[in-house]
Amino acid sequence: MQIKKCESCGNDSFAVGNLGNGFTSVTPVDKIMGSSPLILTFCKKCGEVSSIKVKYPAKF
C-alpha cells in the first residue's frame, strides 16, 4: 500500500469528515427530491482537501 502525501505540505496524516448537515448537501440538478452529504478527506496539518466524494451516489 502506498502512503498518501499531502500535495501542499508533504504531511502523511489525513482525516475524513462529512460536509452536509441537512442544509449543506449536494442535490441533483434535474430532480426535486434527493440529496447527499459529501465526504471530505483532508490533511490534518494544513487542511488541504485531497478528496471529495458523494456519500450516496445512487440518489442521483
What DSSP letter does each residue of the chain carry, written as one string?
-PPP--TTT----EEEEEE-SSSS-B--SS-SS--B-EEEEEETTT--EEEEEES-GGG-
For 7-30, what is each residue's pLDDT tens digit?
A: 999 999 999 999 877 677 888 888
Check: pTM over 0.85? Answer yes or no: no
- Residue 45 sits in which domain range? 1-49
In a domain, 27, yes or no: yes
The whole-number pLDDT of residue 43 equals: 97
For 29-42, what is each residue's pLDDT tens digit?
A: 888 788 889 999 99
In a domain, 57, yes or no: no
In the chain, the number of structural domains is 1
In a domain, 60, yes or no: no
